[in-house]
């Protein structure tokens, strides 16, 4: 994957490949510009400052889920007018801060939230630009922890609530309904799922149209998945086919803008986690490769049973051996892979865990008082 003398790097280390990031941004921009689509980068996927600066430089907007993410986005060069603010639990302090910045949109998830935004905006004698985050009840067919668009989830406004919320909003002078927002989940690899979303949005738009409401923008959230099994085969996600689905199936009204909030597909493949084998431990059924990275550095396998490709960079062996690849943390779930066939490995070998640029470093903890993995940029 990369020509790099990894033996000089203190492990565990997140390696961020800036060439991959830049190429991804280039393709993303070209494909989005083709349809004049607007892209907001979801900071939650990776908030490393250099990565944010690269993405802001490329001209993308930002999708934030906390006041601190908004502050960071502004600091790294994202424009306030291109910041969307999502989340089911925005606090008064966060709302006030976002109001002062004049952000693009508060993506609102409940009536009580809209009421508070209206009240706080009124105190400031201003008008908040809002979008209703609607739960379209479309199944994303992904892991249950990252499915958000079905009714049992905490996210969004349910379809049956829309009318009563719009009735209430008629009396609110300090919120302006500018958009409709949808986000059904993450790591979606079956593009038909987005087709279902488009069809549902078309129906929902009819409902608003019947009340003579045409919003300025539709925001379809993020969710485009990446290739975890064979990353080198698709380092850059297929943005072309993804956008074409929306172009072909979403019925935008004249002058209505389409916005996206992509995280994983922008930064996922540019990151790898470099680690070293501390011990090879004999087990009764198979051996354990105990490496110096742990669930504290990358929690996805432990939390979602997520698959990440793992490579041994040092072994020259042609003999394949099955290992459980585990970290040193005192939790049985601190496992990166079970029964994984790798070339025969030994203490000191370098192990590379692929596709960790999104939801890797940002979800790290210092459980067991472990040090944070360092970050190394590759160009
Ligand atoms: N917009 C909203 C409202 C979201 O909640 C998310 C992600 C995104 C955009 C960006 O979605 P993406 O393009 O990255 O799929 N930690 C999990 C993923 C959680 C996703 C949360 N929301 C994981 O490691 O798989």
Pair (250, 274) in one structural domain: no
Count: domains in the chain: 2
Of 2, 53, 7, the C-alpha closest to 314 is: 7
**Residue 339: CB partners within 8 Å, gap ≥ 6?**
286, 322, 323, 324
Pair (259, 301) in one structural domain: no
184 Cβ closer than 6 Å to some ligand 1 atom: no
Which residue among 131, 261, 267, 302 has the greatest number of ligand 1 atoms within 8 angstroms of its CB, and so is best to mutate?
261
Pair (124, 195) in one structural domain: yes
**Residue 25: CB partners within 8 Å, gap ≥ 6?**
54, 55, 58, 60, 266
Pair (51, 134) in one structural domain: yes
For the CA of 303, the closest atom of ligand 1 is: 24
**10 Å Cβ neighbour count for 335?**
17
Among 226, 249, 268, which residue terminates a domain?
A: 268
259 Cβ closer than 6 Å to some ligand 1 atom: no
Residue 169 domain-assigned (yes or no): yes
Pair (154, 289) in one structural domain: no
Pair (37, 164) in one structural domain: yes
42 Cβ closer than 6 Å to some ligand 1 atom: yes
200 Cβ closer than 6 Å to some ligand 1 atom: no
The pLDDT of residue 138: 87
Tell how far the Cα of 282 is from the centroid of ligand 1, in angstroms: 38
Residue 288 domain-assigned (yes or no): yes
Residue 1 domain-assigned (yes or no): no
Q: What is the separation of C-alpha 254 from the centre of its chain, rounded to a whole number of angstroms? A: 30
Please give the residue range of the domain that contains residue 338: 6-12+269-378
The pLDDT of residue 1: 46
Pair (355, 238) in one structural domain: no
Pair (337, 202) in one structural domain: no
Among 215, 245, 268, which residue terminates a domain?
A: 268
Indicate which CATH number applies to the domain containing 51: 3.20.20.10
Indicate which CATH number applies to the domain containing 315: 2.40.37.10
Among 268, 284, 304, which residue terminates a domain?
A: 268
**Residue 366: CB partners within 8 Å, gap ≥ 6?**
296, 372
For the CA of 306, the closest atom of ligand 1 is: 25
Pair (325, 356) in one structural domain: yes
Pair (130, 219) in one structural domain: yes
Tell how far the Cα of 199 is from the centroid of ligand 1, in angstroms: 22
261 Cβ closer than 6 Å to some ligand 1 atom: yes
CA 224/CA 242 separation, integer angstroms: 8
Q: What is the residue-level pLDDT of the chain in tens, covering all 379 positions?
A: 456 789 999 999 999 999 999 999 999 999 999 999 999 999 999 999 999 999 999 999 999 999 999 999 999 999 999 999 999 999 999 999 999 999 999 999 999 999 999 999 999 999 999 999 999 988 877 676 666 666 667 788 999 999 999 999 999 999 999 999 999 999 999 999 999 999 999 999 999 999 999 999 999 999 999 999 999 999 999 999 999 999 999 999 999 999 999 999 999 999 999 999 999 999 888 899 999 999 999 999 999 999 999 999 999 999 999 999 999 999 999 999 999 999 999 999 999 999 999 999 999 999 999 999 999 999 9
Pair (97, 237) in one structural domain: yes
Q: What is the DSSP letter of 371?
A: P
Pair (250, 307) in one structural domain: no
Residue 131 domain-assigned (yes or no): yes
């Amino acid at each position: 994957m990369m020509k790099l003398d990894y033996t000089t790097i203190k492990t565990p280390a997140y390696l961020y490949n800036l060439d991959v990031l830049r190429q991804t941004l280039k393709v993303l921009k070209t494909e989005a510009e083709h349809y004049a689509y607007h892209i907001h980068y979801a900071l939650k996927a990776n908030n490393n400052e250099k990565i944010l600066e690269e993405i802001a430089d490329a001209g993308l907007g930002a999708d934030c889920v906390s006041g601190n993410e908004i502050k960071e986005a502004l600091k790294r060069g994202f424009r306030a007018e291109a910041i969307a603010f999502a989340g089911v639990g925005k606090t008064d302090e966060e709302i006030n801060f976002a109001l002062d910045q004049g952000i693009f949109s508060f993506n609102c998830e409940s009536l009580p939230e809209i009421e508070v935004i209206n009240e706080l905006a009124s105190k400031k004698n201003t008008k908040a630009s809002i979008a209703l985050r609607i739960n379209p009840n479309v199944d994303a067919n992904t892991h249950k922890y990252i499915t958000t668009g079905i009714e049992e989830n905490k996210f969004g406004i349910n379809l049956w609530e829309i009318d009563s919320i719009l009735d209430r909003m008629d009396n609110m002078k300090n919120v302006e309904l500018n958009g409709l927002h949808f986000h059904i989940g993450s790591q979606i690899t079956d593009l038909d799922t987005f087709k279902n979303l488009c069809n549902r949005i078309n129906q929902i738009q009819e409902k608003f149209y019947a009340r003579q409401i045409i919003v300025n923008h539709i925001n379809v959230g993020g969710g485009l998945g990446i290739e975890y099994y064979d990353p080198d085969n698709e380092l850059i996600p297929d943005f072309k086919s993804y956008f074409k689905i929306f172009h072909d199936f979403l019925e935008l009204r004249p002058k209505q803008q389409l916005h996206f909030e992509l995280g994983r597909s922008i930064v996922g493949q540019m990151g790898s986690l470099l680690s070293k084998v501390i011990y090879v431990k004999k087990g009764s059924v198979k051996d354990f490769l105990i490496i110096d990275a742990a669930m504290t550095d990358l929690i996805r396998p432990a939390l979602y049973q997520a698959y990440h490709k793992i490579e041994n960079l040092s072994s020259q062996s042609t003999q394949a051996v099955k290992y459980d690849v585990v970290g040193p943390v005192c939790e049985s779930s601190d496992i990166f892979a079970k029964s994984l066939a790798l070339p025969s490995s030994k203490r000191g070998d370098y192990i590379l865990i692929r596709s960790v640029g999104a939801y890797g470093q940002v979800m790290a903890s210092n459980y067991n008082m472990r040090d944070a993995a360092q970050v190394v940029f590759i160009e």
